[in-house]
Amino acid sequence: MPRFPKNFVWGTATSAYQIEGGIAEGGRGASIWDTFSHRAGTILDGSNGDIAIDHYNLRDEDIDLMAEFGIKAYRFSIAWPRIFPQGVGNINDPGMAFYDKLVDKLLEKDIQPWVTLYHWDLPQALEDRGGWPNRDTVLYFVAYAEAVSKALGDRVKHWITHNEPWVFSYLGYYMGTHAPGEQDLWAAVRATHHALLSHGIAVPVIRSNSVAANVGITLNLAPIYPMTDSPADVMAARHHDGWLNRWFLDPLFRRGYPEDMMHLFGQYKPGIEDGDMAKIGTPIDFLGLNYYSAHYVRAVSSDENMLGFSALGPEDLENFGFELTEMGWPIVPDGMTDILIQVHEEYEPKSIIITENGAAFADAPVNNIVDDPRRVDYLRHHLEAVRVAIKNGVPVDGYFAWSFFDNFEWAEGYTKRFGLVYVDYEDDNKRIPKTSAAWYNRVIEANAIVD
Ligand code: FCB
């Protein structure tokens, strides 16, 4: 049985707003997701994260369950509005204490904590000051990173500044499908720049508070395939790659923003000030990569469409014979090998950690058992794709399955289940481990892909 490298990190991931609930507990302030989800028509099932899966109250039992299933590393995010209810000011001690206890509990169970500082729940008070399109948010984020790394940096050694800046910038400020629900391209482009800048400035701050820290950023990356070899489709794919991948990778790896994208954005350029690009290019210890699917792109006519709406939707993909998950995303394990090789060859990060990978399926308990063979297949094929990348010399050092639990899937509410553990929302958020949890446990124990 081919094994993964020694010391390969095996984990699972979650994020604060998706699981915690307890939105008014311990002095927590409001986040943009509280505001957004309470606005009519934003969330598919009309739900919100007020209770989510009640992890705020079930924290210790949840960690016990992770330990029972052999999880070695846990990637979770800190809710900024628990630490600074108004985004800035004095630390809210009960908020910090929640994570302090979480970290201690993880260490007691021999589970490595991997902290994500920003997984989309901006304090509403900071959105009221302009949110990510406002350059001041950069320094607010750095102050927040300083406070958290100071409090937890003696025990937490693995840090992720941001989760998927493309998603929170474009879905949040341009498409309007995520919080705060704006539809303004220029705001979105500025948001990407400020997110990257806040990352770059926070990296040395975290390092100064956390000795020998391992610090990175997580991007949602995907290979972009043109539908045909026509020059127009090839160009469209190149642009899409620029928008989703290169816009973030190029500056992080000290190349500045890609020129073709600066040109395409036209008047909507980020406000770059002297020294910004050097800060964004601060060396990182690892690149976090979230992979769910590949994109297939064809050329469309108008300029604006070039920025994102040229990717094929679920219906087209199904007609082309792709198998889709409940999200309508095509299952493309080879795409994971491709993007890993692409990133490795182009940018040579020292280390890549798969910080998320997983799939939503319509799971349902039968006699208290949740059998999810399609998720096991999905995970198996994607782990095989990771192995192929490693064989090709890509330094992949860890893998986090998304997610340990079913949870609040943003605009999809509770209608999409990504967990290795089923959550019965009708029955007090009861946890029922799925077949995939037991399978993943065996993978971790064997350090290899098992049947
Ligand atoms: C990613 C997010 C994560 C989860 C998965 C399905 O984009 O980082 O919170 O919603 O998608």
Question: Which residue from 197, 188, 258, 250 is spatially nearest to 221, judged by alpha carbons?
Answer: 250
Please say if 164 is a catalytic residue. yes
Q: Which one from 20, 127, 182, 356 is the annotated catalytic residue?
A: 356
220 lines ligand 1 (CB under 6 A): yes
Please say if 356 is a catalytic residue. yes
Query: What pLDDT does residue 306 have?
Result: 53
Q: Which one from 20, 127, 164, 409 is the annotated catalytic residue?
A: 164
Query: What pLDDT does residue 345 have?
Result: 98
* Paired tokens of 22: 């307890």
- Residue 310 belongs to some domain of the structure: yes
Number of domains in the chain: 1
- Residue 2 belongs to some domain of the structure: no
| CA–CA gap between residue 70 and residue 16 (Å, rounded) | 22
What string of pLDDT tens digits covers the 451 residues of the chain? 789 999 999 999 999 999 999 999 999 999 999 999 999 999 999 999 999 999 999 999 999 999 999 999 999 999 999 999 999 999 999 999 999 999 999 999 999 999 999 999 999 999 999 999 999 999 999 999 999 999 999 999 999 999 999 999 999 999 999 999 999 999 999 999 999 999 999 999 999 999 999 999 999 999 999 999 988 888 889 999 999 999 999 999 999 999 999 998 989 999 999 999 999 999 999 999 999 999 999 988 655 445 545 789 999 999 999 999 999 999 999 999 999 999 999 999 999 999 999 999 999 999 999 999 999 999 999 999 999 999 999 999 999 999 999 999 999 999 999 999 999 999 999 999 999 999 999 999 999 999 9
- Residue 337 belongs to some domain of the structure: yes
- Residue 214 belongs to some domain of the structure: yes
Residue nearest to atom 10 of ligand 1 (CA): 409
Query: What pLDDT does residue 305 have?
Result: 44
| b/e 322-359 (16+ beta carbons within 10 angstroms → b) | beebbbebbbbbebbbbbbbbbbeebebeebbbbbbbb
* Paired tokens of 170: 């474009």
> Of all atoms in ligand 1, which is nearest to the CA of residue 360?
6
- Residue 1 belongs to some domain of the structure: no
- Residue 86 belongs to some domain of the structure: yes
- Residue 427 belongs to some domain of the structure: yes
pTM score, whole prediction: 0.98
| CA–CA gap between residue 71 and residue 442 (Å, rounded) | 10
- The CATH number covering residue 216 comes to 3.20.20.80
410 lines ligand 1 (CB under 6 A): yes
- Residue 3 belongs to some domain of the structure: no
User: Which residue range(s) make up the domain with 216?
Assistant: 9-446
The DSSP bridge partners found for residue 290 are 220, 356
In sequence order, the 6+-apart residues with CB closer than 8 A to the CB of 79 are 16, 17, 20, 28, 31, 95, 121
Residue 436: CB atoms within 10 Å: 28
Query: HSE (CB half, 13 Å, CA atoms) of 126?
Result: 29
